[in-house]
A and B are shown apart, each in its own frame.
Chain A
Amino acid sequence: MTTPARRRLMRDFKRLQEDPPAGVSGAPSDNNIMLWNAVIFGPHDTPFEDGTFKLTIEFTEEYPNKPPTVRFISKMFHPNVYADGSICLDILQNRWSPTYDVSAILTSIQSLLHDPNPNSPANYEAAQLYRETRREYEKKVAAIVQESWNDDDDDDDDEGEEDEEESKAGS
C-alpha cells in the first residue's frame, strides 16, 4: 500500500538519482523503503577528507512532516555526533522543515563535518580537542577516516593506532 510518506520517499530517491549532490549518496534498503543506507564522503580540505562514512536513515509514516532518525554506522569522531552514531543537528530536531528531502539532509550533515558546532557537543572529547588542540583533533579524525575504509567487513574491532596505510579511496 502506498502512503504519503512512501510516495514522497520514492520521489526523494528519484531526485537523488537524477540530480545527485556532490559527495553524498543514498538509497532505500532492498526490501524496505522506510530504511535507507547512505554514504557521505568526507569533504575536501577538512580532516574528514577521503573518508567514506556510512549512515542509516530511518523514516516513519509521518515523514516528511517529521524528520527521520539519522545515524552514523561508521565510527565517527566529531563534536556533534554521539557515541551511538546519532547526530546533534538542529534541522533533524526542532528546526525540521517538511521542505527538506533526503538530499538536503545528507548535504546538511556533510556541511556539519565541515563546520562543527562545539557549543552543543555530543562528544565532549571531540569538542574540547576541536577547540583547544586542533592537531590532536585532526589526528583522531584521521584514525576514523582510515577505519571508514575497512567498514565493508563486519566492523567489530576498532583500534586505529597503526600508521602506514595503503590509500584505497578513489576520492
Chain B
Amino acid sequence: MDQNADASFDPSKNYDEDTLAQQREIEKEIAASQAMVSQLHTFDEIVEEYSQEDAIYRQKIEDLKSRFKNLRKTRGDGNCFYRAFGFAYLEKLLNDGKEYKRFLDIAQKSKDELIGLGFPQFTLEDFHDTFMDVVKMVENPGTVDGLFQAFNDAGLSDYFVVYLRLLVSGHLQQNADSYVYFIDGERSVKEFCSQEVEPMGKESDHIHIVSLTKALQIAICVEYMDREGEKCNSFKFNPFESLADDTDTAPAFTLLYRPGHYDILYPL
C-alpha cells in the first residue's frame, strides 16, 4: 500500500486483480443461471429466444425444426464446445458397444502419450483418472440420466473438460508442423496451446475442433447458424477424409453453433 502515483494511473497498483475479480463475478452469474448441460428443449421453446422482428434467426430455427427434434444447451462459460462434445459423444456410446471399446482403448493409451509429451505426470494422472471414471459410466448400467448428473457435477464435468483440452493440446503439439500456419500471431504451437487451449474458459475455434476429432478419431457435424443465407450451414469434421477407407464417416453427433456458443442437436 505504497503510493508512488504520478497521475491518475497508479503504476504500483495491480489492476489485473480487479479485472480478474470482475471476470469471476460474471462467471458466477452465468453459473447461477445456466446448467452445465441442460435438459432437452424443443425448437418451439428455442424460437421464443428471438424476437418477432428477428426474421432471419426465426426462419433458421424453423429450418432446424424440420430436421432435428431437440436441442440440449450447455453453459456459456467458454467450455461449451468440450462439454457439448463430451456429453453428446458419451450419450451416443450408450448405444454403441463397439465404438465404446474403440474409444476406451484410445482414452486409456492417451495418458502415456501425454506424459511422453512432457505434461506433468502427477497432475495429468488426476485428470485422466476422473476422465476415465466418467467415460466408464457408459458401461452397464449406463443411462442418459447418469451422464446428465455427472456432467452437471463440477468436480467431474470440469475435470472431463480439462482432459479434453489436454488431448487437443497434445494433438497440436504432436503435429505442430501441420498446424503452425493456422495459428494467428507470432506464436509457436506450444505457446498457442498454453494460451488458447489449456486454460479453462478459453473458447474453441475451428482448429480446436479439428484437433479433437483427429485426436479421438471421431467424425462430427456442426450446424452453423448466423445471419447469412436462409438455412443453417452444415459442416462435417471428418478425421478420416484423407484415408482410403471412409466407411466410418457417419458423424457421431451434431452440434449447433450460434455465434460464440455450441449446443447439442438431436435428429428427428
Contacts and interface: CB of A to CB of B under 8 A. Distances in A.
Interface of A: 3-4, 8, 11, 15, 64-66, 69, 82-84, 86, 88, 93-101, 104, 121-125
A4 B159 CA distance: 9
A92 to B, nearest CB: 9
A98 B14 contact: no
Nearest to B123: A99
Contacts of A3: 155
B198 A97 contact: yes
Interface in B127-169: 127, 154-155, 158-159, 162, 166
B36 to A, nearest CB: 12
A79 to B, nearest CB: 12
Question: Which DSSP category, helix, strand, loop or mixed, fits chain A's interface?
Answer: loop
A66 B200 contact: yes
B12 interface: yes
A86 B127 contact: no
A65 B24 CA distance: 12
Given A99-B198, A125-B4, A86 B162 contact: no
B265 to A, nearest CB: 27
Contact of A95 (B24, B155, B199): B199
Interface in B99-125: 119-120, 122-124
B12 A82 contact: yes
A111 to B, nearest CB: 16
Nearest to A99: B123
A69 B18 CA distance: 12
Given A66-B200, A98-B162, A83 B4 contact: yes
Contact of A65 (B120, B124, B162, B195): B162
Contacts of A82: 12-14
Contacts of B1: 83-84
18 contacts: A3-B155, A11-B126, A66-B200, A82-B14, A83-B1, A83-B12, A83-B13, A88-B14, A93-B20, A96-B199, A98-B162, A98-B200, A99-B123, A99-B124, A99-B127, A99-B166, A104-B120, A124-B12
B11 interface: yes
A127 B257 CA distance: 45
A125 B2 CA distance: 13
Contact of A124 (B11, B14, B16, B199): B11
B245 interface: no
Contact of B14 (A64, A97, A122, A125): A122
